[in-house]
Chain A
Amino acid sequence: MASSAPFQFAGDSDSDEDNFNPAPADLSDDENNATTKRAAVMTDRRESNPAVDNDIIDEEEDEERPSKSASKPTPDDEEEDENGDEEAEDGEDGKNGDDEEDEEEEDEEEEEDDEDEDVHRHRRKRRKDHRAAFFDIEAEVEDEDEAEDEEKEGEEIEDFIDNAHPDDIAESGRLDDDRRHRELDRRRELEASMDAEKQAEILRARYGKRAPARGYGEMAVVPKRLLLPSVDDPGIWAVRCKEGKERDVVFSIMRRIEERAGSKDEVPITAAFERGGPNSVMKGYIYVEARRQNDIMIALDGVLDVYPRTKMILVELKDMPDLLRVTKTPNLEPGAWVRLKKPAKHAGDLAQVLDVTENGLEARVRFIPRLDYGVRDEMAAAAGKRKRPGMPGPRPPQRLFSEVEARKRNPRQLQGNPQTNTWTYAGDDFENGFQVKDIKIQQLDVKNVNPTLEEVTKFASGSEDGTENLDLKALAASLKDGSTNVTYVPGDVIEVYQGEQRGVVGKAVNVQGDIVTLRVTEGELAGQTIEVPNKGLRKRFKAGDHVKVIGGSRFRDEVGMVVKIVDDRITLLTDQTNTEITVFSKDLREASDIGGQGSLGQYSLLDLVQLDPTTVGCIVKVDRESMVVLDQNGDTRQVMPSQIANKLPKRKLAVAADRNGSEIRLDDVVREYGGQQRQGKIIHIHRSFIFLHSHATTENAGVYVTRAGNVTTIAAKGGRSTNPNAGPDLSTMNPALKRNPAANSNGMQPPKTFGRDRALGQTISVRKGGYKGLMGIVKDTTDTHARVELHGKNKIVTVPKADLIFKDKVSGKTIDIYSRSGRGGFGAPGGGGYGDRNGSRTPMAGNGGERTPAWGAPKSVARTPAWGRGETSGSRTPAWGDGSRTVNPYDGSRTAYGDGNRTAYGGATSYAGGSRTPAWSSSAKTPAHDGFGHGSKTPAYGAGSSGSSNDPWGSKTPAYGASAPTPGASGPSDSWGYTPGPGPSGGGSSSSHHPYDAPTPGGAGFGAPTPGALNAPTPGGAYSAPTPAALSAPTPGAWQGGWGSAADSAPTPAAVGAPTPGASGIGGGIGGGGGGGGASGYYGAPTPAAYGGVPETPAAGGEMRNADDD
């Protein structure tokens, strides 16, 4: 304070008065008080204060501080001071200005002291007593002296003219003169530097504000600068004390002060405080403020736990303010998490506060003990080493206290109550497995504890039955420090909900400290920019906003869309899980469109992770520190990243088979078979388990698990038909291939045979395998295998059907039972008779028949040559023509249906348009259609079933044969087999007759069967006549053309005319067949005949047949 004196000497009465109130630096008083040699100064002082009157100011002062006037032993001082001030005011004598100021201040301080407690005054007195051992009266006067001393001090220090100690100076009489001179000089200086008005202004500026605060003591605003300690103030010493006892010591000092207050030996210090505390660097010290070090010795003499005799540290002036800086001490509450610092063994361990002692110095905490139950001691003992207390070596791991263990190792040290599960072991208390201990708060880390979920989990797992009943989410929430303040970021839409501007909505444009600058967007103020304190603000969202949770909510990092707003509570629907959560708007931020939590470390939502060697799971929810995993058994569990063995990379190539045996891959859409029939997209395939994801449910993020065998494919990804890795699917786009779409399809499967397996009872020989060459009789069959009773061994063996060669029972020739039976199961039944014929022929037919499918399979390329190829070709080849034809209706049928298929394809796929179509339609129309669909089969069947139907077939076959016959056609046949579609289409569309048709012919030929098929049905009608007519007539264009062309191209173009008729004839024939169908005999006749004829010259055969038919 004294330092500010120079400006005050000219102060007016106001300043005086003002000065009383704020009493800034108490401490200077004490020093003054404490100083000796006051008496001498006193006189000076008196001289320097000529006017010793009581004036109004005094009265005022008295009024203001009655206690002071009452208790203060030296009212004169003040009066004098004030007078002095007045003088200064008047300009009569300004020399005292400084002094007065100082004095005033001192006085004020004194006053305060007085007011506060008399102790100080007594103390001062006592000190004086100490020094001078004078009586009271003199002491009263001393204050003046003090004041003067101060004055001098102030002067000296401020002016830096004379640094001699005031005590020294005070003694000399000349001091007075010096001082006066100096003051005069100074005053002149000042006056020179500024005129009175300015000074007044300054003073007013400085003190004017203080007037209203009068009476409130220190509450008035005083520039901090003025409050800083100066050298005049008492020093502060740091005194060692016992660590942790700081507060106790201070308390005992306080008690002592109280005890001794007013007594002779008052405690001669002005203050004592401590800066202990758990994290303070100043712990282990108390700080005592006193004039002299010796005072401290006196004051602290005999106080426990403090060691004034050790070296005291004088706190430097500049450090003093820091000593008093207020730091907020964290408040420990039961349940809080802390870390241990002290028991070295547990350093860094997490502990939970159970209780805090009243004085706030200790806390009862529980933590997980690190016990080895004496194992290490034993080991040490065994090794003959003394155990060192310094905790060398590894510390035991954290484990809950085990009574059993303790009892086993060290039963003597164990006592406790099993009921409450509280034990005392080796001096430590354990409750429910946790160690419980009172620990000084200093030895706890209360800040930045950051317990991890793992640690906390351990605490929870020990509860009661030991089962883990911890709601990790709740815990995670409790772990968060709720200290996050609302932070606004420019761009936030903010609503003012408190204060004058309530209701204003705007967008933050700037945030500085607590002040948010808003650009108002709505209402009357729209467009204006206002500043508001962030206290009454909240963020504003609209329904539908996409927001992210930030801040302290346990839903932190969730992203979602706002669906509901009530006050500042906002409900949002999370993106990840489609669940609704409610949070405070302050915890929200507008979110970018994408985002959201979806990953925790390396694990992210929907990842497949390995939980243990036998368990995998799919992450269905990710929290901040844990995640929820749906394991392969359909159970969800909450796990922490540490519990996950590893993450299984997505195997893009993983393949499984669904219920129907179809291959399923990732991203296929499948539906559960049975059960809930849930449908979903495959996100993981793990062994036989598949994890599906569906948007239809929100449970488990829409993920569920099932077995691969329990789903059926709804849609394979991208309509997969080929291996997706084989590069682009050329077949779909390549126009060349597109021409013949049928070429890509697998063709229709050969008709299934129904009824009794024809193989049953057949004599066979085994073609392959261990039983190769052995003969036997088929006793039983499945789709693929036959059980064969061997002739040679009395044994029934199972042999793949494919490995069987069927033999005629009688002749031992190889036969094709299927082909024969195809024709007419009858054929077969017809058995014997036909046998031969068939027999001979059959084989080929057989092949053909068997082949048919292959045949049907448009991979015709194969066909032509293939025909050439053993199997089919054999049959196909002209010779074959016969064979096949001969072969039977079956062939026919087969063909037919092969055709059918093919045709179907052709028809359907490629050429709706062609002339074909009509043909088709006709065919379709015709009952044949059925036959068609089922193809030849039906007819064949029909044939099979009823001898009569055979005929048509027979007839047809021939017809077929007719086309087939054209050996030349074989060439074409390729093409046709190959591109039946085109053939027909071509033919149909425009040029059925044209050479182009050449292939067509084949097609035609092919068609032939179809017609046959057609016919068959048609003929089914008894009218051979009408049918043909119908045929030729309706289908005419198509058919005839087709036929014609076929015929044409095939055997003899010239024959064209003929073919047509032929065709018609055929039709007729067919019709006839149909008609004749009634009579199996007929059939039998023609066919064979046809066959007979056919073999060599199919054409002829055809003709013949026709003839026959006709």
Chain B
Amino acid sequence: MFFLHNLERRVTLHPSYFGRNMHELVTTKLVKDVEGTCAGDYYIIAIMDTFDLSEGRILPGSGLAEFTVGYRAVVWRPFKGEVIDAIVNTVNPHGFFAQAGPLSLFVSSHLMPDEIRYDASATPAQFTNDADIVIEHGTHVRVKIIGLRTEVGEMWAIGSINGDFLGCLQP
């Protein structure tokens, strides 16, 4: 789910950047540093704007200036139970890996409808029910997140396509 989230971050600036447009630089650096990262249990998708740019403080020893910047960002936090669309990455006998934006998730073969089976003989390997559903590399799937794991700078989810309206998205 996407949120607008107010966040704060400390940005350090190298002395060589000190000058008139320092604030601009700080913002630039903030954007560069923060956008697209995973902050614990959510991803920072984009920074809307910054505010509350503090005065810089020179860090003793290094000469870098530190600014505290408040900013508003669009963040995406996946939730347990959330249904998201993803693109299948890898298919193996245990299930398939898919990518939903920055989030990689795994759908175990246990978490698929019974009629969907792994077909190793197909190229590329796929999960199929021998009818309309074919899940292979590149397939768009709709997945319900049933478990989430967060690590430093990374998130990881387990999903299920066992349910109504879940699974392969018909193009």
Contacts and interface: CB of A to CB of B under 8 A. Distances in A.
Interface of A: 543-546, 561-564, 571, 573, 575, 578-580, 593-594, 695-698, 728, 730, 733-736
Nearest to B90: A696
Given A543-B158, A580-B110, A733-B25, 11 more contacts: A544-B80, A544-B146, A545-B147, A561-B158, A564-B110, A571-B108, A575-B156, A579-B94, A593-B150, A593-B151, A735-B21
Given A735-B17, A735-B19, A698 B92 contact: yes
A730 B29 CA distance: 12
B94 A730 contact: no
15 contacts: A544-B145, A546-B149, A563-B110, A564-B111, A573-B106, A573-B158, A575-B149, A580-B94, A593-B150, A698-B94, A728-B14, A730-B14, A733-B14, A734-B17, A735-B19
Interface in B53-97: 80, 89-90, 92, 94-95, 97
Task: Give the 4 A-B CB pairs with smallest separation, nearest first.
Answer: A544-B147, A544-B146, A564-B110, A563-B108
Interface string B100-113: 00001010101100
B16 interface: yes
Contact of A733 (B17, B97, B149): B17
Contacts of A697: 90
A728 B149 CA distance: 33
B160 interface: yes
Residue with the greatest number of chain B CB neighbours at <10 A, chosen from A545, A561, A593, A734: A561
A579 B106 CA distance: 11
Interface string B1-37: 0000000000000101101010001001100000000
Interface of B: 14, 16-17, 19, 21, 25, 28-29, 80, 89-90, 92, 94-95, 97, 104, 106, 108, 110-111, 145-151, 156, 158, 160
A556 B150 CA distance: 22
Residue with the greatest number of chain B CB neighbours at <10 A, chosen from A544, A545, A698: A544
Nearest to A565: B110
Contacts of A593: 149-151
A697 B108 CA distance: 15
A575 B150 CA distance: 11
A730 B158 contact: no
Contacts of B145: 544
Contacts of B95: 563, 573
Contacts of B92: 698
A588 to B, nearest CB: 14
Contacts of B151: 593-594
A696 B147 contact: no
A106 B111 CA distance: 73
Nearest to A566: B110
A561 B95 CA distance: 14
A564 B108 contact: yes
Residue with the greatest number of chain B CB neighbours at <10 A, chosen from A543, A562, A575: A543
Contacts of A562: 147
Nearest to A736: B16
Contacts of A575: 149, 156
B16 A734 contact: yes
Contact of A580 (B17, B28, B108, B147): B108
B149 A561 contact: yes
A730 B16 CA distance: 8
B110 A571 contact: yes
B85 to A, nearest CB: 19
A695 B110 CA distance: 21
A573 B108 contact: yes
A839 B68 CA distance: 66
A728 B94 CA distance: 45
Contact of B158 (A563, A594, A695, A735): A563
B147 A543 contact: yes
Nearest to B160: A543
Residue with the greatest number of chain A CB neighbours at <10 A, chosen from B108, B148, B150, B156: B108
Contacts of B147: 543-546, 561-562
B14 A578 contact: no
Contacts of A695: 97, 104
Nearest to A729: B14
Contacts of B158: 543-544, 561, 563, 573
A563 B90 contact: no
A728 B106 CA distance: 38
A585 to B, nearest CB: 15
Contacts of A728: 14
A735 B26 CA distance: 12
A97 to B, nearest CB: 75
Contacts of A563: 95, 108, 110-111, 158
A564 B106 CA distance: 13
A827 to B, nearest CB: 47
B86 to A, nearest CB: 15
A563 B96 CA distance: 13
A562 B104 CA distance: 17
Nearest to B81: A544
Contacts of B111: 543, 563-564
A728 B16 CA distance: 10
A543 B17 contact: no
Contacts of B149: 546, 561, 575, 593
A364 to B, nearest CB: 45
Nearest to A579: B94
Given A564-B110, A698-B92, A735 B146 contact: no
B58 to A, nearest CB: 15
Nearest to A735: B21
B101 to A, nearest CB: 15
Contacts of A733: 14, 16-17, 25, 28-29
A191 B157 CA distance: 80
Contact of A696 (B16, B19, B89, B146): B89
A745 B39 CA distance: 34
A735 B108 CA distance: 50
Nearest to B14: A728
A543 B146 contact: yes
A737 to B, nearest CB: 9
Contacts of B148: 544
Contacts of B146: 543-544
Nearest to B108: A563
A309 B130 CA distance: 89
Contacts of A734: 14, 16-17
Contacts of B16: 730, 733-734, 736
Residue with the greatest number of chain A CB neighbours at <10 A, chosen from B17, B94, B146, B147: B147
A551 B12 CA distance: 48
B83 to A, nearest CB: 14
A41 to B, nearest CB: 84
B27 to A, nearest CB: 12
B144 to A, nearest CB: 10
A824 to B, nearest CB: 48
Given A545-B147, A561-B149, A593-B151, A735 B110 contact: no
Nearest to B93: A580
Contacts of B89: 696
Nearest to B106: A573
A544 B145 CA distance: 8
A771 B86 CA distance: 68
A474 to B, nearest CB: 22
A279 to B, nearest CB: 47
A571 B108 CA distance: 10
Nearest to B107: A563
Given A543-B146, A544-B158, A578 B80 contact: no
Contacts of A696: 89-90, 97
A38 B10 CA distance: 103
A571 B97 CA distance: 17
Contacts of A573: 94-95, 106, 108, 158
Nearest to A546: B149
Contacts of A580: 94, 108, 110
Residue with the greatest number of chain B CB neighbours at <10 A, chosen from A561, A563, A571, A696: A563
B74 to A, nearest CB: 24
